[in-house]
Amino acid sequence: MAFLKRVNQRAKTSSNTGFGDNASNYGGRFLNKDGKANIRKTGVGLLERYSWFHTMLEVPGWKFFLIILLYYVIVNFLFALIYYFLGVQHLVGTIAESEVDKFWEAFFFSSQTFTTVGYGRISPIGFTTSAIAAFQALIGLLTLAVATGLLYARFSKPTAYLKFSDNALIAPYKGSKALMIRLAPFKNTTLTDAEARLTLGLTIEENGRKLNRFFPLELELEKVNTLTLSWTIVHPITEDSPLYGFTTEDYKNTAGEIIVFIKAFDDMFSNTVVSRTSYTFNEVIYAAAFNPMFHRDEENNATVLELGRLNDFRQVSFD
Protein backbone atom coordinates (compact mmCIF):
# COMPACT_ATOMS: atom_id res chain seq x y z
CA MET A 1 0.00 0.00 0.00
CA ALA A 2 3.04 2.29 -0.13
CA PHE A 3 2.09 3.66 -3.52
CA LEU A 4 -1.25 4.79 -2.09
CA LYS A 5 0.60 6.87 0.47
CA ARG A 6 2.62 8.41 -2.35
CA VAL A 7 -0.60 9.21 -4.18
CA ASN A 8 -1.93 10.96 -1.10
CA GLN A 9 1.23 13.03 -0.83
CA ARG A 10 1.56 13.84 -4.53
CA ALA A 11 -1.95 14.56 -5.78
CA LYS A 12 -4.27 17.37 -4.80
CA THR A 13 -7.34 16.14 -2.96
CA SER A 14 -10.90 17.44 -3.24
CA SER A 15 -13.08 17.99 -0.17
CA ASN A 16 -16.31 19.07 -1.87
CA THR A 17 -17.46 15.78 -3.36
CA GLY A 18 -20.28 15.20 -0.87
CA PHE A 19 -19.04 11.70 -0.04
CA GLY A 20 -17.83 10.74 3.41
CA ASP A 21 -14.17 10.36 4.35
CA ASN A 22 -14.37 7.36 6.69
CA ALA A 23 -13.92 4.29 4.50
CA SER A 24 -15.01 1.95 7.30
CA ASN A 25 -18.51 3.43 7.12
CA TYR A 26 -18.86 2.90 3.37
CA GLY A 27 -20.11 -0.19 1.59
CA GLY A 28 -19.71 -0.79 -2.13
CA ARG A 29 -19.29 1.88 -4.75
CA PHE A 30 -20.06 5.59 -4.38
CA LEU A 31 -22.26 5.85 -7.47
CA ASN A 32 -24.18 3.15 -9.27
CA LYS A 33 -23.74 2.79 -13.02
CA ASP A 34 -27.01 4.67 -13.61
CA GLY A 35 -25.59 7.68 -11.76
CA LYS A 36 -27.65 7.33 -8.59
CA ALA A 37 -25.95 7.40 -5.21
CA ASN A 38 -25.39 3.95 -3.73
CA ILE A 39 -27.22 4.87 -0.53
CA ARG A 40 -29.98 3.04 1.36
CA LYS A 41 -31.80 5.28 3.83
CA THR A 42 -33.36 4.10 7.08
CA GLY A 43 -34.84 5.72 10.19
CA VAL A 44 -38.02 7.02 8.56
CA GLY A 45 -41.07 5.31 7.18
CA LEU A 46 -41.25 3.92 3.65
CA LEU A 47 -43.64 6.63 2.48
CA GLU A 48 -41.34 9.32 3.88
CA ARG A 49 -38.23 7.88 2.21
CA TYR A 50 -39.57 8.04 -1.31
CA SER A 51 -41.06 10.83 -3.34
CA TRP A 52 -43.82 9.16 -5.35
CA PHE A 53 -43.66 12.02 -7.87
CA HIS A 54 -39.95 11.53 -8.58
CA THR A 55 -40.41 7.77 -8.58
CA MET A 56 -43.15 7.94 -11.20
CA LEU A 57 -40.95 10.17 -13.35
CA GLU A 58 -37.95 7.86 -13.15
CA VAL A 59 -39.49 4.39 -13.55
CA PRO A 60 -39.25 2.84 -17.05
CA GLY A 61 -42.14 3.57 -19.39
CA TRP A 62 -43.59 0.05 -19.21
CA LYS A 63 -43.64 0.16 -15.43
CA PHE A 64 -45.29 3.58 -15.47
CA PHE A 65 -48.17 2.40 -17.67
CA LEU A 66 -48.42 -0.88 -15.75
CA ILE A 67 -48.82 1.04 -12.49
CA ILE A 68 -51.53 3.22 -14.05
CA LEU A 69 -53.32 0.13 -15.37
CA LEU A 70 -53.11 -1.71 -12.04
CA TYR A 71 -54.40 1.35 -10.17
CA TYR A 72 -57.31 1.64 -12.61
CA VAL A 73 -58.24 -2.04 -12.29
CA ILE A 74 -57.89 -2.17 -8.49
CA VAL A 75 -59.91 0.99 -7.85
CA ASN A 76 -62.73 -0.15 -10.12
CA PHE A 77 -62.63 -3.63 -8.61
CA LEU A 78 -63.06 -2.20 -5.10
CA PHE A 79 -65.92 0.06 -6.13
CA ALA A 80 -67.52 -2.83 -8.04
CA LEU A 81 -67.50 -4.83 -4.80
CA ILE A 82 -69.23 -1.96 -3.02
CA TYR A 83 -71.94 -1.69 -5.70
CA TYR A 84 -72.35 -5.47 -5.77
CA PHE A 85 -72.84 -5.83 -2.01
CA LEU A 86 -75.18 -2.84 -1.92
CA GLY A 87 -77.23 -4.71 -4.49
CA VAL A 88 -77.34 -4.29 -8.24
CA GLN A 89 -81.03 -3.50 -7.88
CA HIS A 90 -79.78 -0.01 -7.02
CA LEU A 91 -78.22 0.17 -10.48
CA VAL A 92 -81.07 0.74 -12.89
CA GLY A 93 -80.52 -0.83 -16.30
CA THR A 94 -78.66 -3.97 -15.28
CA ILE A 95 -79.72 -7.00 -17.29
CA ALA A 96 -77.47 -9.65 -15.76
CA GLU A 97 -78.99 -12.75 -14.20
CA SER A 98 -76.05 -14.71 -12.75
CA GLU A 99 -74.06 -13.42 -9.82
CA VAL A 100 -70.87 -13.30 -11.89
CA ASP A 101 -72.55 -11.22 -14.59
CA LYS A 102 -73.99 -8.91 -11.93
CA PHE A 103 -70.50 -8.28 -10.60
CA TRP A 104 -69.20 -7.50 -14.08
CA GLU A 105 -72.11 -5.12 -14.62
CA ALA A 106 -71.07 -3.36 -11.42
CA PHE A 107 -67.41 -3.35 -12.50
CA PHE A 108 -68.08 -1.76 -15.87
CA PHE A 109 -70.50 0.75 -14.34
CA SER A 110 -67.68 1.61 -11.95
CA SER A 111 -65.22 2.13 -14.81
CA GLN A 112 -67.72 4.32 -16.68
CA THR A 113 -68.25 6.41 -13.55
CA PHE A 114 -64.53 6.57 -12.76
CA THR A 115 -63.71 7.91 -16.23
CA THR A 116 -66.87 10.08 -16.28
CA VAL A 117 -67.88 8.44 -19.58
CA GLY A 118 -71.36 7.56 -18.31
CA TYR A 119 -72.95 5.69 -21.25
CA GLY A 120 -76.33 5.98 -19.57
CA ARG A 121 -77.62 2.40 -19.79
CA ILE A 122 -76.98 1.90 -16.06
CA SER A 123 -77.62 4.63 -13.51
CA PRO A 124 -77.64 4.65 -9.69
CA ILE A 125 -80.78 5.11 -7.63
CA GLY A 126 -81.01 5.78 -3.94
CA PHE A 127 -78.98 8.22 -1.87
CA THR A 128 -76.22 5.80 -0.81
CA THR A 129 -75.48 4.42 -4.27
CA SER A 130 -75.66 7.87 -5.88
CA ALA A 131 -73.35 9.33 -3.22
CA ILE A 132 -70.81 6.57 -3.80
CA ALA A 133 -70.97 7.11 -7.56
CA ALA A 134 -70.50 10.87 -7.10
CA PHE A 135 -67.50 10.27 -4.82
CA GLN A 136 -65.99 7.86 -7.33
CA ALA A 137 -66.46 10.40 -10.13
CA LEU A 138 -64.53 12.92 -8.04
CA ILE A 139 -61.69 10.42 -7.51
CA GLY A 140 -61.69 9.74 -11.25
CA LEU A 141 -61.35 13.44 -12.10
CA LEU A 142 -58.47 13.86 -9.66
CA THR A 143 -56.79 10.69 -10.92
CA LEU A 144 -57.08 11.85 -14.53
CA ALA A 145 -55.51 15.18 -13.60
CA VAL A 146 -52.61 13.53 -11.76
CA ALA A 147 -52.02 10.93 -14.49
CA THR A 148 -52.08 13.61 -17.19
CA GLY A 149 -49.61 15.73 -15.23
CA LEU A 150 -47.26 12.79 -14.68
CA LEU A 151 -47.43 11.79 -18.34
CA TYR A 152 -46.67 15.34 -19.45
CA ALA A 153 -43.84 15.65 -16.93
CA ARG A 154 -42.26 12.42 -18.20
CA PHE A 155 -42.29 13.67 -21.78
CA SER A 156 -41.20 17.21 -20.95
CA LYS A 157 -38.47 16.38 -18.40
CA PRO A 158 -35.07 17.51 -19.71
CA THR A 159 -32.84 14.44 -19.99
CA ALA A 160 -29.26 14.15 -21.20
CA TYR A 161 -29.84 10.91 -23.19
CA LEU A 162 -26.18 9.92 -23.02
CA LYS A 163 -24.72 6.43 -23.10
CA PHE A 164 -21.38 5.71 -21.46
CA SER A 165 -18.95 2.96 -22.36
CA ASP A 166 -19.15 -0.09 -20.12
CA ASN A 167 -15.46 0.19 -19.26
CA ALA A 168 -12.86 2.85 -18.73
CA LEU A 169 -9.57 2.17 -20.50
CA ILE A 170 -5.90 2.85 -19.79
CA ALA A 171 -4.63 3.53 -23.30
CA PRO A 172 -1.44 4.79 -24.98
CA TYR A 173 -1.43 8.56 -25.27
CA LYS A 174 1.28 10.83 -26.68
CA GLY A 175 4.10 8.52 -25.71
CA SER A 176 2.65 7.86 -22.28
CA LYS A 177 -0.69 6.65 -20.89
CA ALA A 178 -4.14 8.11 -20.35
CA LEU A 179 -7.43 7.17 -18.76
CA MET A 180 -10.16 7.19 -21.41
CA ILE A 181 -13.94 7.05 -21.12
CA ARG A 182 -16.25 7.26 -24.09
CA LEU A 183 -19.81 8.59 -24.28
CA ALA A 184 -22.29 9.43 -27.01
CA PRO A 185 -25.76 10.97 -27.34
CA PHE A 186 -28.31 8.39 -28.50
CA LYS A 187 -31.41 10.51 -29.18
CA ASN A 188 -32.10 13.12 -31.84
CA THR A 189 -31.29 15.93 -29.43
CA THR A 190 -28.74 18.70 -29.75
CA LEU A 191 -26.46 19.21 -26.76
CA THR A 192 -24.16 22.21 -26.64
CA ASP A 193 -21.53 23.50 -24.21
CA ALA A 194 -20.95 20.01 -22.82
CA GLU A 195 -18.64 19.90 -19.80
CA ALA A 196 -16.99 16.88 -18.19
CA ARG A 197 -15.56 16.43 -14.71
CA LEU A 198 -13.82 13.33 -13.38
CA THR A 199 -13.07 12.56 -9.76
CA LEU A 200 -11.01 9.65 -8.51
CA GLY A 201 -12.00 8.09 -5.21
CA LEU A 202 -9.38 5.98 -3.42
CA THR A 203 -9.15 4.29 -0.06
CA ILE A 204 -6.02 5.66 1.59
CA GLU A 205 -4.47 4.48 4.84
CA GLU A 206 -3.50 7.28 7.21
CA ASN A 207 -2.28 6.72 10.76
CA GLY A 208 -3.68 3.22 10.78
CA ARG A 209 -7.11 4.34 9.54
CA LYS A 210 -8.61 3.74 6.14
CA LEU A 211 -10.01 6.95 4.69
CA ASN A 212 -11.73 7.88 1.45
CA ARG A 213 -9.76 10.44 -0.48
CA PHE A 214 -10.97 12.14 -3.64
CA PHE A 215 -8.74 13.56 -6.37
CA PRO A 216 -9.93 15.73 -9.28
CA LEU A 217 -8.58 14.42 -12.57
CA GLU A 218 -7.33 16.98 -15.06
CA LEU A 219 -8.67 16.43 -18.56
CA GLU A 220 -7.16 16.98 -21.97
CA LEU A 221 -10.44 18.66 -22.98
CA GLU A 222 -13.03 19.61 -20.37
CA LYS A 223 -15.58 21.23 -22.68
CA VAL A 224 -16.86 20.79 -26.23
CA ASN A 225 -19.08 23.26 -28.04
CA THR A 226 -21.42 20.66 -29.55
CA LEU A 227 -21.92 17.04 -28.57
CA THR A 228 -23.11 15.39 -31.76
CA LEU A 229 -20.70 12.47 -32.15
CA SER A 230 -18.96 10.32 -29.57
CA TRP A 231 -16.71 12.04 -27.07
CA THR A 232 -13.70 10.29 -25.59
CA ILE A 233 -12.84 11.94 -22.29
CA VAL A 234 -9.08 11.78 -21.76
CA HIS A 235 -7.15 12.16 -18.52
CA PRO A 236 -3.40 12.17 -19.31
CA ILE A 237 -1.55 10.17 -16.67
CA THR A 238 1.34 12.51 -15.99
CA GLU A 239 3.55 12.66 -12.90
CA ASP A 240 0.96 14.94 -11.29
CA SER A 241 -1.83 12.43 -11.82
CA PRO A 242 -2.96 10.32 -8.85
CA LEU A 243 -2.94 7.37 -11.27
CA TYR A 244 0.72 7.80 -12.13
CA GLY A 245 2.66 4.60 -11.57
CA PHE A 246 -0.41 2.36 -11.34
CA THR A 247 0.10 -1.06 -12.88
CA THR A 248 -2.47 -3.59 -13.96
CA GLU A 249 -2.06 -5.33 -10.60
CA ASP A 250 -2.68 -2.07 -8.75
CA TYR A 251 -6.00 -1.66 -10.54
CA LYS A 252 -6.98 -5.19 -9.54
CA ASN A 253 -5.93 -4.91 -5.90
CA THR A 254 -6.93 -1.32 -5.08
CA ALA A 255 -10.36 -0.08 -3.99
CA GLY A 256 -10.87 2.83 -6.34
CA GLU A 257 -13.68 4.43 -8.30
CA ILE A 258 -13.75 7.00 -11.09
CA ILE A 259 -16.79 9.27 -10.82
CA VAL A 260 -17.97 10.97 -14.02
CA PHE A 261 -20.12 14.12 -14.18
CA ILE A 262 -21.41 15.48 -17.49
CA LYS A 263 -23.30 18.75 -17.86
CA ALA A 264 -24.65 20.12 -21.14
CA PHE A 265 -27.23 22.54 -22.51
CA ASP A 266 -30.23 21.13 -24.39
CA ASP A 267 -31.42 23.83 -26.80
CA MET A 268 -34.77 22.09 -27.35
CA PHE A 269 -35.70 22.46 -23.67
CA SER A 270 -33.53 25.58 -23.17
CA ASN A 271 -32.30 23.90 -20.02
CA THR A 272 -29.19 22.33 -18.55
CA VAL A 273 -29.11 18.53 -18.41
CA VAL A 274 -26.84 16.40 -16.25
CA SER A 275 -25.68 12.80 -16.46
CA ARG A 276 -23.51 10.78 -14.06
CA THR A 277 -21.89 7.38 -13.86
CA SER A 278 -18.86 5.74 -12.28
CA TYR A 279 -16.28 3.04 -12.93
CA THR A 280 -14.78 0.93 -10.19
CA PHE A 281 -11.22 -0.26 -10.75
CA ASN A 282 -12.45 -3.72 -11.73
CA GLU A 283 -14.24 -1.97 -14.62
CA VAL A 284 -10.99 -0.37 -15.80
CA ILE A 285 -9.22 -2.28 -18.58
CA TYR A 286 -5.47 -1.84 -18.74
CA ALA A 287 -3.64 -1.58 -22.08
CA ALA A 288 -6.68 -1.12 -24.32
CA ALA A 289 -7.94 1.46 -26.81
CA PHE A 290 -11.37 2.29 -28.19
CA ASN A 291 -12.18 1.37 -31.77
CA PRO A 292 -13.66 4.09 -34.02
CA MET A 293 -17.45 4.25 -33.90
CA PHE A 294 -18.29 6.77 -36.63
CA HIS A 295 -17.50 6.98 -40.32
CA ARG A 296 -18.73 8.59 -43.51
CA ASP A 297 -21.61 6.96 -45.36
CA GLU A 298 -21.31 5.31 -48.75
CA GLU A 299 -22.46 8.44 -50.60
CA ASN A 300 -20.03 10.57 -48.62
CA ASN A 301 -22.92 12.86 -47.70
CA ALA A 302 -23.23 12.24 -43.95
CA THR A 303 -21.47 10.80 -40.94
CA VAL A 304 -22.73 7.51 -39.47
CA LEU A 305 -22.50 7.16 -35.69
CA GLU A 306 -22.64 3.45 -34.78
CA LEU A 307 -23.96 3.45 -31.22
CA GLY A 308 -23.66 -0.33 -31.10
CA ARG A 309 -19.87 0.10 -31.16
CA LEU A 310 -19.71 2.39 -28.14
CA ASN A 311 -18.03 -0.34 -26.07
CA ASP A 312 -15.76 -1.72 -28.80
CA PHE A 313 -12.09 -1.73 -27.86
CA ARG A 314 -8.93 -3.63 -28.65
CA GLN A 315 -6.02 -4.71 -26.53
CA VAL A 316 -2.80 -2.79 -27.13
CA SER A 317 0.72 -2.73 -25.74
CA PHE A 318 2.70 0.11 -24.25
CA ASP A 319 5.98 0.73 -26.05
Here the CATH number for the domain that contains residue 201 is: 2.60.40.1400
Residue 8 and residue 100 share a domain: no
pLDDT band at 25 (very low <50, low <70, confident <90, very high): low
pLDDT of residue 69: 95
Sign of CA dihedral 48, 54, 59, 61: positive
Count Cβ atoms below 10 Å from residue 235 Cβ, excluding itself: 25
Looking at the chain, the whole-number percentage of residues with pLDDT higher than 70 is: 92
User: Treating both helix axes as pointing N-terminal to C-terminal, what angle do 127-156 and 99-114 enclose, rounded to 10 degrees?
Assistant: 60
Please, are residues 220 and 291 in contact by the beta-carbon 8 Å criterion? no
What confidence tens digit (pLDDT) does each residue in 166-210 have? 999 999 998 889 999 999 999 888 899 999 999 998 887 777 777
What confidence tens digit (pLDDT) does each residue in 281-311 have? 999 999 999 999 999 888 888 999 999 999 9
| Predicted TM-score of the model (pTM) | 0.80
Domain finish residue from 156, 191, 209: 156
Model confidence at 246: pLDDT above 80: yes
Residue 180 and residue 80 share a domain: no
Q: Which residue has the higher pLDDT, 226 or 33?
A: 226
What confidence tens digit (pLDDT) does each residue in 76-97 have? 999 999 999 998 889 998 888 8
Q: Which residue has the higher pLDDT, 11 or 110?
A: 110
Please, are residues 277 and 303 in contact by the beta-carbon 8 Å criterion? no
pLDDT band at 40 (very low <50, low <70, confident <90, very high): confident
Residue 124 and residue 262 share a domain: no
Residue 107 and residue 206 share a domain: no
Q: Among residues 250, 278, 216, 204, which one has the least CA distance to residue 24?
A: 204
Residue 142 and residue 100 share a domain: yes
pLDDT of residue 5: 52
Domain finish residue from 156, 191, 207: 156
Encode 293-302: b = buried (16+ Cβ within 10 Å), e = exposed.
beeeeeeeee
Examine residue 46 and state whether it is found in any structural domain, yes or no: no
Examine residue 47 and state whether it is found in any structural domain, yes or no: no
The number of distinct structural domains making up the chain is 2
Domain finish residue from 156, 181, 211: 156
Range of the structural domain that residue 276 is part of: 2-40+159-315
Residue 180 and residue 296 share a domain: yes
Residue 142 and residue 13 share a domain: no
Model confidence at 48: pLDDT above 70: yes
pLDDT of residue 20: 64
Residue 169 and residue 85 share a domain: no
CATH number at residue 148: 1.10.287.70
